[in-house]
Amino acid sequence: MAHQIKKIGVLTGGGDCPGLNAVIRAVTRNAILNYGYEVIGYRFGYRGLYKNETMPLTLETVSGIQHKGGTILYSSNKDNLFDYTVEENGIEVKRDVSDVAIENMRKEGVDALIVIGGDGTLTSARDFGRKGVKVIGVPKTIDNDLASTDFTFGFNTAVGVATEALDRLHTTAESHHRIMILEVMGRNAGWIALESGVSGSADVILIPEIEFDINKIVEKIEQREREGKLFSIIVVAEGAKPVGGDVVVSKIVTDSPDPIRLGGIGNKLAYDLEGLVENHEIRCTVLGHIQRGGITSSFDRMLSTRYGVAAVDLIDAGKFGNMVCLTGNKISYAHLENVIGDTKNVNPNGELVKVARAIGISFGD
Ligand code: F6P
């Protein structure tokens, strides 16, 4: 209140993620109902800030969006305004256009900005903060790989989808005595594979944090056979790699700040196992963007709502330059200067891996 905030802007950057709409809704409702702020959304992430493409966020426009995946503001994972592609004399060149965005905000009367995104989007939020913009970050990613928060929203939904997929794959695995492989997302972190693998009763979980030996996977399949279990379920994170080997890259998105897209390890593993396992057909399912789409889980709706409310409370308290976090089930905040680039991986010796091993799950090591 002391900071004379009248109008706030909101944008979503990076890949879509379950819970984005729930954050937008919570921000808007808290801002209007408790602080009397006007709220606008920038469309297509930072591009909207540069081109001043806005839409009003009101109690009406955010109605009915809580459960929906995606983002009503649209998103982009390509537009870094500090290194933005513009055309000059018919040639594409990279320019820092952040001042244009700041001037747009000034003209629009936007006093503070809430940026909802992952590491790349929040890096730009930090840089706008350095230039004096009153900015608050909200962490999103299905990968759950940001160190400063116990959970990012979107992760719980992705784990739920992957778990259901494993439940369904059990049907075919049991009926046909097959080896079924499920490849899940997560970039270089194994959180989705680990949690869905334990919840979905996988026999083998392969994660980037523990390099695997294909012979150990064969041993596990054979051990199960000796126990009368004539099928096996393997969940493999897209960033998993064999001992001494490398990740499988599915695509290079040249105009993305983070161009490497992982993917393909599931099918490669199926191919490699074919020659080593007798008596079983091996099939791979790649879950892909299904993990990010559709209905948002109640956990993520709750977390997103808490984050959205906290982001507006931080604006009112004048605590700019911070990102909201979850620490031990309490909402807290950390300065963007201290959180960027700080990633969180599965600890190979941590409790969750020990739990999985304790119930007989193999990590292929
Ligand atoms: O970071 C979220 C994520 O879904 C990763 O798990 C995955 O590697 C990547 O994004 C996929 O990116 P895109 O949506 O550009 O294909």
Residue 259 has pLDDT above 60, yes or no: yes
**Rounded mean pLDDT of 251-270?**
93
Are 99 and 231 contained in the same domain? no
Question: What is the pLDDT at residue 78?
Answer: 85
CA 339, 345, 348, 354 torsion-angle sign: positive
Residue 300, phi then psi, degrees to nearest 5: -70, -35
Question: What is the pLDDT at residue 3?
Answer: 67
Are 46 and 175 contained in the same domain? no
Report the mean per-residue pLDDT for the chain: 96
Residue 116 · residue 23 · CB < 8 Å: yes
Residue 2 has pLDDT above 60, yes or no: no
> Residue 328 CB: number of other CB atoms within 10 A?
6
- Choice between 76 and 156, residue whose per-residue pLDDT is larger: 156
Q: What residues make up the domain containing 211?
A: 158-292+347-358
13 in a structural domain: yes
Torsion of CA 143, 149, 154, 159, to 10 degrees: 60
Instruction: Say whether 126 sits in a helix, a strand or coil.
Output: helix
pLDDT digits (tens, 9 = 90+) for 55-78: 999 999 999 999 999 999 999 888
Are 275 and 318 contained in the same domain? no
234 in a structural domain: yes
Residue 15: give its domain's CATH number. 3.40.50.450
Residue 333 has pLDDT above 70, yes or no: yes
pLDDT interval class at 254 (50, 70, 90):
confident
Residue 42 has pLDDT above 80, yes or no: yes
- 38's enclosing H/E stretch is strand 38-42
Residue 260: give its domain's CATH number. 3.40.50.460
363 in a structural domain: no
Are 21 and 109 contained in the same domain? yes
The radius of gyration of the chain from alpha carbons, rounded to an integer in Å, stands at 22
Judge whether 213 counts as a catalytic residue: no
Ligand 1: atom nearest CA of 77 is: 15
Are 19 and 129 contained in the same domain? yes
Among residues 79, 111, 119, 143, which one is catalytic?
143
Are 103 and 171 contained in the same domain? no
Are 249 and 306 contained in the same domain? no
Structurally, the chain folds into a number of domains equal to 2
Pocket test for ligand 1, best of 78, 116, 143 (most atoms within 8 A of CB): 143
- Evaluate: CB of 75 within 6 angstroms of ligand 1: no
Are 6 and 110 contained in the same domain? yes
337 in a structural domain: no
Are 147 and 62 contained in the same domain? yes
216 in a structural domain: yes
**Rounded mean pLDDT of 189-215?**
98
Compute CA distances 127 → 137, 162, 202, 248, whole Å.
Answer: 12, 35, 42, 32
Work out the percent of the chain whose per-residue pLDDT is above 90: 95
| Gap from CA of 185 to ligand 1 centroid (Å) | 7
